Chains A and B, each alone.
Chain A
Amino acid sequence: MASAPSKQYSDDVSLLMVLLDTNPFFWGGTNTTTGVLSFSSFLTHVISFLNSIILLNQLNQVVVIATGFNSCDYIYESSTSEAIIVNSDNGQMPALCSKMLQKLEEFVIRDEQLSKENSPTGIVSSLLSGSLSLALCYIQKVFRSGPLHPHPRILCLQGSPDGPEQYVAVMNAIFSAQRSMVPIDSCVIGAQHSAFLQQASYITGGVYLKPQQLDGLFQYLTIQSRRLVPDMGMICTPTDPHKPNCATYP
């Protein structure tokens, strides 16, 4: 009775909000800074990673939001789709994979059409403030759903540089995440560090990553994700000094 924790989480169940940078100027740019990584191989890594999270616990939820150049939108919600049964026999993940890729393609086409209407003038950032705001609204809905809800985290997979004009909005989102005790993890795949995401992870108590080698992104995400998703601790070696990071309080 003495202490009154403000949030209750159902143990071991995660809600991972993944914000995917789909900015065509980053992925298709002539001065490709991504090294060997193409958008499609990036997606392969991400989908394997998302599947590994759902595989670990059937109750884990994954939501994917696209961070575009002209718009942002929800791409995938594991909770509303038909039950995802990952068929380990043929090694495919039909439901997640096909549904998500289809919506993602539609989104990218729509997003690109918007830039034909107003052609970009120098700015190549993606709308991080938009996708962060959407993710936070979604998490509030999960909080409202009852006293027991999954552990929410936001994971930003960001390639484009920061858009200075979004500074105020991004900071507003970071502070709101901090108040709701939602950690923002970030994995930067662009050439430069992202000052926005460094702030976001620092203030909300999340993890900031900038992998050196991108061709092993899936392994990297999976290994790092024992810090991102509490459950993932079980795939580590027992001698691992890093305890699964369960406490999300900053």
Chain B
Amino acid sequence: MNYNKTNNFGERRLNGEDKEEDDDDDEGNGRGMEAWERAYADERSWESLQEDESGLLRPIDNNTMQHAQYRRRLRTLSATAATSRIQKGLIRYLYIIIDLSRAAGEMDFKPSRMVVVAKHVEAFIREFFDQNPLSHIGLVTIKDGVAQCLTDLGGSPDSHIKALMGKLECSGDSSLQNALDLVHDYLNKIPSYGHREVLILYSALSTCDPGDVMETIKECKKSKIRCSVIGLSAEIYICKHLCQETGGSYSVALDEYHFKELLLEHAPPPPAIAEFAVGNLIKMGFPQRAAEGVISICSCHKEAKAGGGYTCPRCKARVCELPTECRICGLTLVSSPHLARSYHHLFPITPFEEVSPTLLNNSYHKLTKTCFGCQQSLLHSGNRPTLRVACPKCNQHFCLDCDIYIHESLHNCPGCESLRHSKPMNNNE
């Protein structure tokens, strides 16, 4: 087969339902939500209508529904936490390839595919570093048939986001092969303990390649690079083939919400990593912050810099940013806050329990009136108590929004932290 010409691999999707059945084929293990579990925006809201005791229809509470979904997810998460804990310390090297060919300018996603992709990539990058504190991301764009490296592999979310936001324009064709060749060269150089991954956000329905893309796919497979693709238009054979060959996942986003979900599924380490890097101990150094005013040669910029930066404890080379790998002696350099970022994976907080409606109705005069976390009122107008959750350890009550924030971002129970006798906080069961 020869892919010299621009070939069109697109098969237009017929309708949404067919698509979902296809998706279920791809191993299914990582897909958090089935179609029937997804949040229904407006089009299917009748399905959740309920009657109350007197036979009248209850108003649909979207918040409550989303919260129920979130709790389901939390439960499955904590069930698998025991097995997945071991993977969290692994170091991933991920290139995100963003297709900025002319197809990215299409407006089926509002305001355009490109803007939607950039918005969610920003959120993804932050989430990724939260879940993989020692890992690295690099950004590559495809435009006018040429792949360009936007940022080198690095551990600082802000520099990636800044670079991406500055380069948001699209034109020309897309080239899968050029992009894969580029990242293959980079990823081949990283140390063997690192896990090599590529995530392609593909808008185009075709690829304009200089040579045989099949050869490039073989190379990626040989170098153990896991390639995943999220399509924005329709399923493309060559993308599916790429993912199958390299052990990645392939999916096509139906809408913006679906795209966001698919993208965030790539933030936790993929299941295969555990086997890939079992018992591979990694030597790490905790470098000293260099004293102000000292002039030293920076190993990343290859020029003299005054003050700032860090000094490798093994070879005394200077680096600008952490985490990184010493360019001189190859030691992995991290700062203790980087390690601290992974603590919440080691000490997950227990899920909160819903306060049962009977308890709410019987004794609400004794219940607290506000959320312990944010002081939001927990009463409806008319003094009826709203749905609330309680921490099983400290018994404080929280609103549903705080529940989500506490478990997804804060990773502390404010109630438990505000009580001295609830320490020590060995909260893993």
* Physical interaction between A and B: yes
- In the bound complex, do residue A118 and residue B406 qualify as a contact, i.e. CB atoms below 8 Å apart? no
Q: How far is the CA of A176 from the CA of B375 in the complex (A)?
A: 19
Whether B425 lies near A175 (C-beta < 8 A) is no
Instruction: Pick the most buried of B341, B418, B421: most chain A CB atoms within 10 A of its CB.
Output: B418
Cβ–Cβ < 8 Å partners of A118 in chain B: 420-421
Is the CB–CB distance between A70 and B402 below 8 Å?
no
Instruction: Please tell me if B57 contacts chain A, counting CB pairs below 8 Å.
Output: no
With known contacts A72-B418, A77-B375, A134-B418, A3–B410 Cβ distance under 8 A: no
Q: How many residues of B contact A (CB 8 A)?
A: 43
B254 on the A face (CB < 8 A):
no
Residues from chain B with Cβ under 8 Å of A166 in the complex: 417
Q: Is B272 an interface residue (CB 8 A)?
A: no
Q: If A138-B375, A141-B374 touch, does A130 touch B409 (CB 8 Å cutoff)? A: no
User: Is A194 located at the chain interface by the 8 A CB criterion?
Assistant: no
Stretch at the interface among B115-123, B258-266, B280-288, B354-362: B115-123
State in angstroms the CA–CA spacing of A74 and B166 once bound together: 42
Across the interface, do A127 and B418 meet the contact criterion of CB distance under 8 Å?
yes
- Inter-chain contacts of B341 with A (CB < 8 A): 171, 175
A-B contact count (CB 8 A): 120
At the interface, yes or no: B414 with Cβ under 8 Å from chain A? yes
Report the bound CA distance from A99 to B115 in whole Å: 48
State which residues 105-152 of B face A: CB under 8 Å. Answer: 111, 115, 118-119, 122-123, 126, 130
A2-B168, A140-B401, A199-B337 known; A171+B343 contact, CB < 8 A: yes
Question: In the complex, which residues of chain B have a beta carbon less than 8 angstroms from the beta carbon of A115?
Answer: 420
What residue in chain B is nearest A180 (Cβ atoms)? B409
Q: What are the interface flags for A112-136 relative to B under an 8 Å C-beta threshold, 1 for contact and 0 otherwise?
A: 0011011000000001011101101
User: What's the nearest-Cβ distance from chain A to residue B265, in Å?
Assistant: 19
Which of B122, B123, B409, B412 has the most chain A CB atoms inside 10 A of its CB? B412
Inter-chain contacts of A165 with B (CB < 8 A): 423-425
Residue of B whose beta carbon sits closest to that of A128? B417
Do the beta carbons of A130 and B418 come within 8 Å of each other?
yes
- Closest approach, in angstroms, between the C-beta of B70 and any C-beta of chain A? 15
Say how far B280's CB is from chain A's closest CB, in angstroms: 25
A41 contacts B by Cβ under 8 Å: no
Chain A residue with Cβ nearest B344 = A172
State A130–B166 Cα separation when bound (angstroms): 39
Q: Is the CB of A173 within 8 A of B118?
A: no
B337 in contact with A73 (CB, 8 Å)? no
B363 to chain A, nearest CB (A): 23
Whether B418 lies near A131 (C-beta < 8 A) is yes
Within 8 A of B (CB), among A198-215: 199, 203
Closest chain A CB from B275 CB (angstroms): 29
A134 touches B340 (CB 8 A): no
A69 near B343 (CB under 8 angstroms)?
no
- Determine the chain B residues whose CB is within 8 A of the CB of A138 once the complex forms: 373-375
B240 near A: Cβ within 8 Å? no
Chain A residues with CB under 8 A of B374 = 137-138, 140-141
A:141-193 near B, CB below 8 Å: 141, 144, 165-169, 171-176, 179-180
> A169-B417, A249-B158 known; A176 and B373 CB under 8 Å?
no
Known A130-B418, A165-B425; contact A6-B122, beta-carbon cutoff 8 A: yes
Given A140-B401, A175-B341, CB of A130 within 8 Å of CB of B406? no
Interchain CB contact under 8 A, A176 and B414? no
In contact, A169 and B425 (Cβ under 8 angstroms): yes
In the bound complex, CA of A179 to CA of B126 (Å): 7
* Residues of chain B lying within 8 A (CB to CB) of residue A134: 372-373, 414, 418
Chain A residues, CB < 8 A from B344: 168, 172
Report the minimum CB–CB distance from B336 to chain A (whole Å): 9
Quick one: which of B343-380 are within 8 Å of A by CB?
A: 343-344, 347, 371-376
Q: How far is the CB of A189 from chain B (nearest CB, A)?
A: 22
B420 cross-chain contacts in A, Cβ below 8 A: 69-71, 114-115, 118, 127
A4 touches B165 (CB 8 A): yes
Confirm or deny: A29 has a beta carbon within 8 angstroms of a beta carbon on chain B. no
Residue of B169, B340, B376, B421 with highest tally of chain A CB at under 10 A: B340
* Residue numbers in B under 8 Å from A2 (CB-CB): 115, 165, 168-169
In the assembled complex, A83 has its CB within 8 A of some CB on chain B: no
A250 close to chain B: CB less than 8 A: yes
Q: How far is the CA of A49 from the CA of B254 in the complex (A)?
A: 53
Q: Once the chains bind, are A71 and B410 in contact (CB under 8 Å)?
A: no
Between B401, B409, B410, B411, the greatest number of chain A beta carbons within 10 A of the residue's beta carbon is seen for B410
Query: When each residue 32-57 of chain A gets 1 if its CB lies under 8 Å from chain B and 0 otherwise, what string results?
Result: 00000000000000000000000000
Known: A3-B165, A171-B337. A137 touches B405 (CB 8 A): yes
Residues in B whose Cβ lies below 8 Å from that of A140: 374, 401-402, 405
Contacts of B158 in A (CB 8 A): 249-250
Closest 7 A-B residue pairs measured CB to CB?
A: A137-B373, A130-B418, A133-B414, A130-B417, A141-B374, A72-B418, A171-B340
Apart from the given pairs A166-B417, A168-B340, 10 other A-B contacts in the complex at a CB distance below 8 Å: A2-B165, A70-B419, A71-B419, A115-B420, A140-B374, A141-B401, A165-B423, A171-B341, A172-B343, A179-B409
Name A residues whose Cβ lies closer than 8 Å to a Cβ of B: 1-4, 6, 69-74, 77, 114-115, 117-118, 127, 129-131, 133-134, 136-138, 140-141, 144, 165-169, 171-176, 179-180, 199, 203, 249-250
